[in-house]
A and B are shown apart, each in its own frame.
Chain A
Amino acid sequence: MLHLAEGLRLPTNGLDYTLLGIYFAVVLGIGFAARRSVKTSLDFFLSGRSLPAWITGLAFVAANLGATEILGMAANGAQYGVYTVHWYWIGAIPAMVFLGLVMMPFYYGSKVRSVPEFLLHRFGPSSHLLSSIIFAVSSVLIAGVNLYALALVLKALLGWELWISVVVAGFFVLAYITLGGLSSAIYTEVLQFFVILAALIPLTVVGLKRVGGWGGITDTLSGEKGGAFMTAWDGTGIGSANPLGANWLTIVLGLGFVMSFGYWTTNFAEVQRALSAKNLSAARRTPLIAAFPKIFIPAVVVIPGLIALVMEPTLGKTEKGLQYNDAIPVLMRDLLPNGVLGIAVTGLLAAFMAGMAANISSFNTVFTNDIYAAYLKKDRPDEHYVATARWVTVAGVLIGMGTAFIASEFSNIMNYLQTLFSFFNVPLFVVFIIGMFWKKTTPAAGFWGLLTGTVGAMVNYFWLYKQGVIDIPTDQGANFVSSIVAFAVGAVVMVAVTLFTKPKPAEELAGLVYGTRSPGEPEPLGEGDDAWYRKPALLGWGALILAAVCYVPFSF
């Protein structure tokens, strides 16, 4: 949860508010203009599977680049130093490449409309319903938590009352998603991606000049925090201490493998962007195109965190003073003149709204498609489901707004909730990975793996860690361990259950399991998709090599 310190009020003026107002008007315009393209439920949920790869790719990275991510990763930069790059180069890129190269043919080729729907095909109704309900509940609550975080930030920066921010931001998100469905969510995300960069790049440039460039940062912080603070791997040997509270094994396994693969490959708020691409080639390229901006985002997020620490050495030192989360707002306040300041405020607000919109647009799809149409009201005409999805969007935003108000009363509970939800992706990932690569895996194993993996992570976090049964130095370190536990428990249970239950017949698994193909003709390549720069393998391996090269200056 974001709590900004007092005294961060930005010196905004009419110019800044004009820029903000223009953005709100454009977003609403996108909603109205996208409305006429929504004819079927597929248009509403997946933009009719018709978008080009560069749009879905930028939306893929933007859906992740919410404001909590930006402020949070800058905070991590100030708190943990250069270690924060692990969240990008090992904690995102390999998983994004795996999604594009290995998993996307099964997702896109099987023509599923959501991640839970894939479980329906691969395993059956029980795991489908379980994961749909978990996803629907968690995405609405996360949307609410996002909205509350937005209200806190706006109160600190602009002095807006909490309820005004919640109502205004909630209303705009509600309006453009109800009107245009996923198309307006994706278009807004692409727009937000460019606006937030137009804010973060000037911020970083001016900040670097202020602290004497990269050399200035290194000199100051290596002196104050020790040399390891400015490296990626120093002090991560097992048993040695470092600011992150994690060793190389938990970083590679917990963050790099389990947590990141869980988030990037099975979180429907992300995967939905790829499923809306116009053909299989575009769908595979979606996370691969997203990987390249993702590699360079630390330059405009983590570096500002370090700059803020140089400028304000008291950051995060005292309870009352400036917190790590204040890193970017401090720079905005001290370095940006009116004009660019307005762009920065707009970018931050846009990032909050886009993050919330990603949750809402994936929620309405899963609720309408996987719960309502699959179990409550089957076989209605398609128009009925479009209308339902619009009402579900309204309900989802209203519940999210309600959650935001509850969160203002119980912000600690919300902290726990957020941790809790971070567990759901990992068990889902173990079910996917085993189900995709081991064709004997039975429907019952899918269900019990999902359930016990989730429970296992919770037991580790809330009992073993919080009650002090085992000793882990930081929350981040505990998160890494919890996800490894969830993965191990889920995997063991799946193997055990599979040995005693009946698998699905092989012909029902065509196109769902590694080594099989969807029935019917393979989709022909789109025009121009055979160009060398559109080859998924080249893009994927290129991203991996680039991420590895980025580690070099921070490793030796």
Chain B
Amino acid sequence: MSHDSTPSKPAAQQVAKDVEELERRSQTAARLFDVRRIIGGLFVVYGVIVTLAGVFASEEDLRKAQDININLWTGIAMLILGVAFLVWLRLSPTVPPPAVRDGDAAE
């Protein structure tokens, strides 16, 4: 354990530098799709399916859920959530990251 403290200063700074360099080359910001599209899409599809199940609910379904048409209400709520995510995506789309600046390479 005694040798722990000797050369770690350059190591720690080197790591921070490496991470900065990797951050510059990172492609996630530029190429990763927006998760709102997935949430919105899935919940619209789920919402439609579950709402339809509610529209055609059987007597037994209703009795089981204490006379609440739970499929209908859940389906509508999911549909609203899904549409809300798609509208949000439409109103404030993903901001494309700034292109790699020239000055950065010299650092």
Q: Which residues of A contact B (CB under 8 A)?
A: 15, 18-19, 22-23, 26, 29-30, 33-34, 36-43, 47-51, 55, 110-113, 117, 120-121, 123-126, 183, 187, 190-191, 194-195, 198, 201-202, 205-206, 209-210, 278, 334-340, 343, 382, 442-444, 447, 501-505, 507-508, 518-519
A19-B50, A36-B27 given; 17 more Cβ-contact pairs under 8 Å: A36-B31, A37-B27, A37-B30, A42-B19, A43-B27, A48-B27, A49-B23, A117-B15, A124-B5, A126-B4, A183-B28, A198-B43, A205-B68, A337-B65, A338-B61, A382-B22, A443-B1
Known: A121-B12, A206-B70, A443-B4. A190 touches B39 (CB 8 A): yes
Q: Which residue of the partner chain, among A50, A55, A111, A123, contacts B4 with CB atoms under 8 Å?
A: A123
The main secondary structure of chain B at its interface with chain A is helix
Q: A447 contacts B1, CB within 8 Å?
A: yes
Residues of A within 8 A of B57 (CB): 337
Q: Which residues of B contact A (CB under 8 A)?
A: 1-2, 4-5, 8-9, 11-13, 15-16, 19-20, 22-23, 25-33, 35, 38-39, 41-43, 45-46, 49-50, 53-54, 57-58, 60-62, 64-66, 68, 70-71, 73-75, 77-78, 81, 97
Minimum CB–CB distance for B61 against chain A, Å:
4
Q: A22 contacts B27, CB within 8 Å?
A: no
Q: B68 contacts A113, CB within 8 Å?
A: no
Known: A26-B42, A198-B46, A443-B1. A39 touches B65 (CB 8 A): no
Residues of A within 8 A of B46 (CB): 19, 22, 198, 343
C-alpha gap A487/B28 in the complex (Å): 39
> 5 closest A-B pairs (Cβ-Cβ)?
A124-B4, A48-B26, A48-B28, A339-B53, A337-B61
Known: A190-B39, A444-B2. A198 touches B22 (CB 8 A): no
Q: B68 contacts A209, CB within 8 Å?
A: yes
Q: Which residue of the partner chain, among A18, A198, A340, A502, contacts B5 with CB atoms under 8 Å?
A: A502
Q: Which residue of the partner chain, among B15, B19, B70, contacts A337 with CB atoms under 8 Å?
A: B70
Known: A111-B20, A121-B8. A37 touches B64 (CB 8 A): no
Minimum CB–CB distance for A10 against chain B, Å:
12
Residues of B within 8 A of A210 (CB): 66
Minimum CB–CB distance for B41 against chain A, Å:
8
Known: A22-B46, A339-B54. A42 touches B22 (CB 8 A): yes
Q: Which residue of B lies closest to A110 (CB)?
A: B16
Q: A55 contacts B75, CB within 8 Å?
A: no
Q: A111 contacts B15, CB within 8 Å?
A: yes
Minimum CB–CB distance for A385 against chain B, Å:
10
Q: B25 contacts A40, CB within 8 Å?
A: yes
